[in-house]
Structure 1
């Protein structure tokens, strides 16, 4: 009985306590101001914001939540089926907010830790949990970058400034402290797509310069407009108004009153001053324009060290001894042919003294034609002799084997002293000799790397400095009206942007593009050295290098080399069609390196996938100690 009595008493006490708590909760709920839903929603943060509170009532998918920050009670719809209970405190994100309804989504740390971190990072930064902001924080975490407020805000601003740019591209630039601007974005995207090859733009530039020069010949000979269209497809207009350059504009460039300013600007662009010192008595600006353009291109090709020529300069001061002998032999054969034909040349070019006139092969020395006669003749005399030979049909195609390029250069060098008639004949001679092809072929050789010069040109990056300087000079010629073609300006700008981006990359790791000139073909190459430049290296540290080549017949070739001291381990990653051929010749490479004192292990592997080396290096820590950090079993 005592036990039962005790039990009844205890149960009564528990019941009274529970009833008291229940009534207390009811009273508390009744004391809450019955503000309407629109008032409650008006006080809430906007969509995407995170709220935290205690669930005080829960019926199906609708819950009453007392907010932790203000004590306000709201009624909201819960998105999705989630395990909630009365009395539970939780974080929610506002996914929808209308006049009479709030929709919340639970922020769960149990099912998705990344999801939880993203929401907490945005909450700590006081930012909304919009899809865009969540994507930004997610990528920051993937790139192992800070998710503090400043970094998130910086990315938000960048994505607003470049809405069409992938967040990953912006992060790659930001993480590596590369300037985020339209040029670098375009360059990085080109690298990611494998469309960054400098070689293509170099070939386009040389070809467009050649077409431009061809059309300048048309302008001077046929009064055709200079353009970037193929020769023969241009419209006929006044040559002094070609491409909008009027006679007044050109004369302004020639105005000696402005010489100081013009000279200063030319020096800033590393251009020759010859352009602003034309023959002031000329009546055909087109003649001066093409001759001065050739003069400026020669100035570029010779790094500003072109010869100083005068009309009275003798031949032996222009050509090397071997070239002089060959040229004289050529002239001898033509004059002998001319004598047999019974036609006299105008000997005053070679013998200005009337008493020495007569048949050129019966010269003044009481013996037949001598080398000394033409060898001591002046440039103007030789030029007019060649004009005469061309007019008489004795020289039909003055190619390199007939008239050396150096002699053409000398004729161009004295062009400002020539009459309009002589200039016109010189331009026709240059056109007949395809001199514009010689110029562009030389530019191509200058702007590509041969296997023989590769080591010397890239050791101190001499090649890239020279190329950038050449592009600056060409841009200057465009600004001065000598290269007025959008098809020339565009590749110049693209190449300069590419070189600048490559320079920025080299602040992080060693990387070089290699525009290669091989036997019978050009080939693009990429050289990667997988090590951070700002890290100290020991002499016995392994060096990892990747050389990527695009070969016309072999396809893409990736050669990975790991070298430590004098031990080399090399793997050639190839397409299946070329793997057998390369394998059969690997012993030749091994034998050559062994003779140089190296130990080598080399093999081939077939690879069909496509990598993105730049992204891989920029996204990861490039200070690798072994190749396993990177995927080399791939091709570009």
Structure 2
């Protein structure tokens, strides 16, 4: 079968990334005789008029590695990519099926004579029975219906002919796919299906447009009356912040971020999801982590231990005793003092108690770290920006400690917006107008929306996270559309339309997921937000386990690596992965780092066999869907009544 994606630049992960490519011609010369005919003696490769799925016959005039040159009856020489052609001989007449075709490339698949005759006969009989002409377009429609295991009766063929005329730029495979899964064939749905494959029309791009535009609503609000500024500003913040209020935050200020209700023996807590996410810099080592006696014993030990006493200041030790020490600082110093996780103490009982306390602190800190990033404002606001923000917040009467956190940048976006919301009703009009028109406040709003509307790699490990993500996103989009409609009376139709487009995409994806597991996930990485698409190669009603074998396709749009397609086959604990990328530089980079991935998977009990390949075409999601339905080695037999 043809490999539509692999070029001669493929790099096998079994070889060194910088190894020299094998000379395929010299390797081939021992098993395949030299071509008796030079390609230059024939007309140049001409693919005009060829269509995907078309059957062609011709004489093999050249074989080179994974390419074959075929002379057709009209004298044309077609050169296309071909796998499993080792058994072919120059001079042999062979029947091929066109797998992929463009002005620049051609991919072929060998078709046995019986297959070719049976398929051609079936197609022609279907058209004859239905009373339609046997032109290439109609043959293509019937072939696509056969491949996707659809009826080839008169009504179905006639419907597809009409739709192909109405939507002449839409591939036949797409129209057949939509009919098969009862997706209404409309321009909107065709565009939505196309957007699933088009990296320029993904959910992330819609999110980027909205997060850029929604904060600009503040500019218009700043020109409203004082009462309306407060009312509408508060309403917009409610939509963006969604959950916990500042009152919840104030009540839990001492605990912060996570409520450690019950610790297991390993020190991992149950997390109170209702609390607002705060900075790790605001988490204190208090009674929720260690009791007062445990903190006192730990302090005495740290004062006496030679590895620790030089690291822990007197002030920090006092903070551990009274429960005001910074959790992050204590945990990092403990890891520095005891990198092996153990220490010497003659009193075995005391040693075990201290070791248990240290492990408790480190486990609790690790549990906090594994939550979603806190989105500190120093990640996107410069020192100058934060000074300007403080000036614009001058009339908000924020606590001194909050002002200090703003200046240092060690406050989360979510926490700061809650403080601002809490102070809106008591802040002078001029201060609110100044803040709402400032670029720093718009940036806060934008970053909070991005945080809400993207996922992190860590968050993907949580059960049900994808359903929750889309449910929350859909709710916020509905709320935003309602807010715009009631507050701006037609002046923000473009923004409302953008929110509607994103809702339509989500709704269409939900419709697709009735049959297949496919979704887009905007992933927030350390230095960029990347669009990702995940497709599982099985219909939902045919769910498979790792023991039975699972195949998935993951697509990532990376800022520096470019588009990246990863095909993964999992059987038990064995992973076979193929990375499809755009160029050799990216290939070398991924290849050189592959041992890190192999080692990480090995620690989790998986073995990895990976290769990095050069992509020759972009992913077409409709093709990926229909691959599950095609069985080109079998053509069902149909009986036709010409009188019908």
Structure 2 CA distance for aligned equivalents of residues 577 and 216 of structure 1: 49
Q: Counterpart of 1:409?
A: 418
Q: Counterpart of 2:612?
A: 605
Q: Counterpart of 2:360?
A: none
**1:374-413 matches, cutoff 5 A:** 386-387=394-395, 401=409, 406=415, 409=418, 412-413=421-422
Partner secondary structure for residue 514 of structure 1? strand
Partner secondary structure for residue 510 of structure 2? helix
Moved more, 174-183 or 497-506: 174-183
Q: CA RMSD in A?
A: 4.1
Structure 1 CA distance for aligned equivalents of residues 392 and 145 of structure 2: 73
Partner secondary structure for residue 441 of structure 1? helix
Q: CA deviation at 1:614?
A: 1.1
**1:117-128 matches, cutoff 5 A:** 120-126=125-131
Q: Is the 8 A contact 2:138 2:161 kept in 1?
A: yes
How big is each residue's C-alpha offset from its partner over 1:84-124, in whole Å with a ceiling of 9 and x where there is no partner?
xxxxxxxxxxxxxxxxxxxxxxxxxxx99877655643453
Q: Counterpart of 2:512?
A: 505
Q: Counterpart of 2:36?
A: none
Q: Counterpart of 1:209?
A: 214
Q: Is the 8 A contact 2:580 2:612 kept in 1?
A: yes
**1:410-449 matches, cutoff 5 A:** 412-413=421-422, 415=424, 422-431=428-437, 434-449=440-455
1:593 aligned onto 2:532: no
**1:196-345 matches, cutoff 5 A:** 196-217=201-222, 220=223, 285-307=224-246
Q: Is the 8 A contact 1:531 1:623 kept in 2?
A: no
Taking a change above 3 Å as real, the CA distance of residues 492 and 399 of structure 1, as seen in their structure-2 partners, is farther
Q: Is the 8 A contact 2:546 2:570 kept in 1?
A: no
Q: Counterpart of 2:474?
A: 468
Picking from 527, 530, 539, the partner of 1:532 is 539
1:541 aligned onto 2:480: no
Partner secondary structure for residue 214 of structure 1? helix
Q: Counterpart of 2:26?
A: none
Moved more, 524-533 or 426-435: 426-435
Structure 2 CA distance for aligned equivalents of residues 385 and 158 of structure 1: 59
Q: CA deviation at 1:302?
A: 3.5
Structure 2 CA distance for aligned equivalents of residues 589 and 396 of structure 1: 41
Taking a change above 3 Å as real, the CA distance of residues 321 and 505 of structure 1, as seen in their structure-2 partners, is closer
Picking from 577, 582, 586, the partner of 1:578 is 586
Which residues of structure 2 form unaligned runs of 5+?
Answer: 1-115, 257-277, 283-390, 632-644
Partner secondary structure for residue 584 of structure 1? helix
Structure 2 CA distance for aligned equivalents of residues 384 and 619 of structure 1: 57
1:178 aligned onto 2:186: no
Picking from 143, 147, 152, the partner of 2:152 is 147
Over alpha carbons, which structure has the higher Rg? Answer: 1
Structure 1 CA distance for aligned equivalents of residues 590 and 135 of structure 2: 54
Equivalenced residue count is 379
Moved more, 470-479 or 163-172: 163-172
Taking a change above 3 Å as real, the CA distance of residues 584 and 614 of structure 1, as seen in their structure-2 partners, is same
Structure 1 CA distance for aligned equivalents of residues 209 and 528 of structure 2: 15
Q: CA deviation at 1:385?
A: 11
Structure 2 CA distance for aligned equivalents of residues 530 and 581 of structure 1: 28
Q: CA deviation at 1:130?
A: 8.1
Which residues of structure 1 form unaligned runs of 5+?
Answer: 1-110, 221-284, 310-314, 328-382, 625-636
Q: CA deviation at 1:319?
A: 6.0
Q: Is the 8 A contact 1:293 1:482 kept in 2?
A: no
How big is each residue's C-alpha offset from its partner over 1:462-510, in whole Å with a ceiling of 9 and x where there is no partner?
1122111111111111221248423422321221122122212222221
Structure 1 CA distance for aligned equivalents of residues 166 and 193 of structure 2: 17
Q: Counterpart of 2:569?
A: 562
Q: CA deviation at 1:213?
A: 2.3
Structure 2 CA distance for aligned equivalents of residues 384 and 551 of structure 1: 36
Partner secondary structure for residue 534 of structure 1? helix
Q: CA deviation at 1:411?
A: 5.3
Taking a change above 3 Å as real, the CA distance of residues 173 and 290 of structure 1, as seen in their structure-2 partners, is farther
TM-score by length of 2: 0.51
Moved more, 162-171 or 470-479: 162-171
Q: Is the 8 A contact 2:392 2:431 kept in 1?
A: no
Taking a change above 3 Å as real, the CA distance of residues 149 and 304 of structure 1, as seen in their structure-2 partners, is same
Q: Is the 8 A contact 1:291 1:427 kept in 2?
A: no
Partner secondary structure for residue 541 of structure 2? coil
Partner secondary structure for residue 570 of structure 2? strand
Q: Is the 8 A contact 2:566 2:578 kept in 1?
A: yes
Partner secondary structure for residue 612 of structure 1? coil
Q: Is the 8 A contact 1:579 1:604 kept in 2?
A: no
Q: Counterpart of 1:456?
A: 462
Structure 2 CA distance for aligned equivalents of residues 468 and 386 of structure 1: 36
Structure 1 CA distance for aligned equivalents of residues 393 and 190 of structure 2: 58
1:167 aligned onto 2:172: yes
Partner secondary structure for residue 178 of structure 1? coil
